[in-house]
Amino acid sequence: MSERMKNKAWSVQGKYVLITGATSGIGLAAAKELAIRGADLGIVARSQVKANETAEKLRTLTGGNTKVDVFLADLTDQRSIRRVASEILARCPRIDVLINNAGAMFVKRILTKDGMEKTWAVNHLAPFLLTTLLLDRIRMSGEARIITTSSHGHKMAKKGIAFDDLTAMKRYSFPQVLMGGANFRYGETKLANILFTTELARLLEGTGVVANCLDPGLVATNFNQGNGMLARMTMAVMKRFSRTPEKGAETLVWLADSNEINGESGRYYFDMKEAIPTAPASSREAARKLWEVSESQTRNSSI
């Protein structure tokens, strides 16, 4: 990126920010703060009721001064993602910031309509597909930002991504499932977020579009509440040591709005500072391989 771009002032005020996972937790906290800072918002959600409630909250928060568009999609379903991407392109003449924030973890191995393991589908393939489908429109903005919410959980994938087990049959097999296989699978998907960001940043060099990711820390949200009593009990204990959603959203908002990171791309941040991920997360070879695999799994290539 040129020195002119690096030094040019940046603010979300008056810019269009598209965010997934904005109806609760970190995403909702980030959407509120970005609305206060003057951004117009597009929220991608699964539930019409929750999306409308969130949109109304955001409009009320800013006295009706914030434009909020609602888009509905099931992020486990690639047809749904393609449909919502077409709707976004039809309704949004520009996208200045794309925030891939939605995430989930499933304790049981469930395959989606596309034959993909569900945690992988939501946490990695959904942001990959949505980003690549919207990328031409994002690049039209001249300068834009793509931000993906990863996690310190990527450290659980100590051996990297198991490219020979992409549907996670081994992770969810006995006895691995008893040893926390679902947690390690979640870690793989969060590692994938970092590798996706690395390769995306490389492919976007010189375009004016930057891609970064973040670890929001351990945050008290509704995450993992649909995975049974044990999961709910575990999360209840963890909440005692967790951050508020507002604290967890700080780095996300900073990456969207700060002038400090102008020109910085392919980085991983924690508490508004660049952090060093694990060795598997720093592998350029793994990042390129993941991109190729993801194109195959979504049958999509936009770069």
| Integer Cα distance of 225 and 252 in angstroms | 23
Residue positions counted in the chain: 303
48 CB neighbour count, 10 Å cutoff: 10
| Integer Cα distance of 212 and 268 in angstroms | 6
**Residue 186 known to be catalytic:** yes
| φ and ψ at residue 40, rounded to 5 degrees | -90, 145
| Integer Cα distance of 24 and 14 in angstroms | 24
| Nearest to 31, CA basis, from 67, 75, 74 | 67
Largest Cα–Cα distance in the chain? 56
Q: Which of 172, 186, 268, 269 is catalytic?
A: 186
| Integer Cα distance of 137 and 142 in angstroms | 10
Strands (E), 13-67: 16-20, 40-45
Torsion of CA 257, 260, 263, 264, to 10 degrees: -100
Instruction: Report which residue type is found at 56.
Output: E
| Integer Cα distance of 38 and 153 in angstroms | 32
Residue identified by tokens 């969810």 is 172
205 CB neighbour count, 10 Å cutoff: 11
The distance in angstroms from the start CA to the end CA of the chain is 18
Looking at the DSSP bridge assignments, the partners of residue 187 are none
Q: Could you give the residue numbers annotated as active site?
A: 186
